[in-house]
Structure 1
């Protein structure tokens, strides 16, 4: 018989919180990579009530770590947010499409100059830029640190927008009539800094994707964005076919030429 896991009934910490913390630890250690225990097993394992287990699972679900719908066994959630590669997408829409509520903590919204960013946009170094920095949340848990710059000549109306629950592209279109048409992205895997790890509330074993995007409107760069997103909650999805592959294939070698016909001696040469 598996021994029950200890919960401290004398502690001021609620039982559901103790169970939740222990399950979070076990998840981070990869204990449930194959199967996550159901409610009945957890009730027996921790010797607590079903309501306690459900409250613990509710928090894990809000963090995006497990699915725990009523009537279905809980499951570990792996990279529940998928992003298409090679399309103009909205992170806001991708989070909502995954069934999670998108919310942002707006850290910066102002006008400033940045020579490096201006160079990305093909502008003079002193060009005023609208800068928006948000901590993007999926459910209640942090998902990404998102920083974007746009020329103030176009994007100044965004300074009055409330970006806690809306898409930048939606506000840009509604307030300026501008829509991105295309762009370029560079995606790399990196180890987050201590500050980024703290913002994203991720463990030391979690890497991040760094996405750098240049958005194009009317044939000119309009947006430069850097998004640092948790690698354990995010996945990229690509579709491809043979038509989309550009392979350098050498043409087949021509068949060997037939040997030249022998030259017959002529009367003059005899």
Structure 2
């Protein structure tokens, strides 16, 4: 029999349910978090053991999943606490690009080429995971006014991103769906932008004229310092510009250009 603390509204675990005990505890703690019950303080491991009448191992597994989702902060030797929700989602250049497309009055949508679960040893290693770890893979062609602008590929661990398989990414943001469906909000990361010559397939899909380069954007998204997203994006070099104001280097701006004709008309003689 579980013992609850004063004022707590605990849903007891159902030992006859097919759902694991740790998952039931995790779900109920999430519910309590959303009600604001832990606004002032979060119970320690032993208090949760007492409240739910489960083992410490069960509580630790539930807290680990909550930590992975970014809802709770917990580490060895320290009491768990509610994560600071004031940390803003960093927006890198690519996502500012898509925001600029809409704010400039252009229509944007995506062609989803792939959305599935797969294993990729190279990406898993980048994320600090075992090579056989299941990953959610999303590949899209991003369009501006129905003209190809970028090819976007992203991998995330299936253990936190599996609900994304039910999302329609034709006209929605990955991070919005990750927040809504998985209750995961990235807290940081690293992004590298470099000039590349697109592959023949990328040139064809993005309708990049011969001789025109592209920009490759590689991003590692992090959740509380742990890598959980690996993204590769190829953007048309003739339709994209990244500008940084040296007085505000943390706020880069981007510009989306209209399509540049492959063969500009000759001036009249």
Q: TM-score, normalised by structure 1?
A: 0.56
Structure with max Cα Rg = 1
Given that residues 85 and 237 in structure 1 are in contact (C-alpha distance below 8 angstroms), is that contact kept between their aligned partners in structure 2? no
Deviating beyond 2 angstroms after TM superposition, the runs of 4 or more aligned structure 1 residues are: 84-95, 241-244
Please give the per-residue CA displacement for 1:168-187, whole angstroms capped at 9, x wherever unaligned. 00100000111111110111
**Do the aligned partners of residues 218 and 232 (structure 1) sit closer, same or farther apart at CA in structure 2, a change above 3 Å counting?**
same
Q: In 1, distance between residues paired with 2:111 and 2:148?
A: 10
- Three-state SS of the structure 2 residue aligned to 1:163 is coil
From 95, 102, 106, the counterpart of 2:101: 95
Q: In 1, distance between residues paired with 2:194 and 2:100?
A: 19
RMSD over aligned CA atoms reads 2.2
1:203 is matched with which residue?
Answer: 209
- Three-state SS of the structure 1 residue aligned to 2:105 is coil
- Three-state SS of the structure 2 residue aligned to 1:93 is helix
**Structure 2 residue runs without a partner (length 5+):** 1-89, 251-269
Q: TM-score, normalised by structure 2?
A: 0.56
Shift of 1:90: 5.2
Q: In 1, distance between residues paired with 2:113 and 2:135?
A: 16
Given that residues 188 and 224 in structure 2 are in contact (C-alpha distance below 8 angstroms), is that contact kept between their aligned partners in structure 1? no
**Do the aligned partners of residues 243 and 213 (structure 1) sit closer, same or farther apart at CA in structure 2, a change above 3 Å counting?**
closer
Q: In 1, distance between residues paired with 2:168 and 2:124?
A: 25
**How many aligned positions are there?**
161
From 178, 185, 194, the counterpart of 1:179: 185
From 241, 245, 248, the counterpart of 1:239: 245
**Structure 1 residue runs without a partner (length 5+):** 1-83, 245-270
From 228, 231, 234, the counterpart of 1:225: 231
- Three-state SS of the structure 2 residue aligned to 1:153 is helix
Equivalent runs, 1:66-77 vs 2, <5 Å: none
Q: In 1, distance between residues paired with 2:93 and 2:204?
A: 30
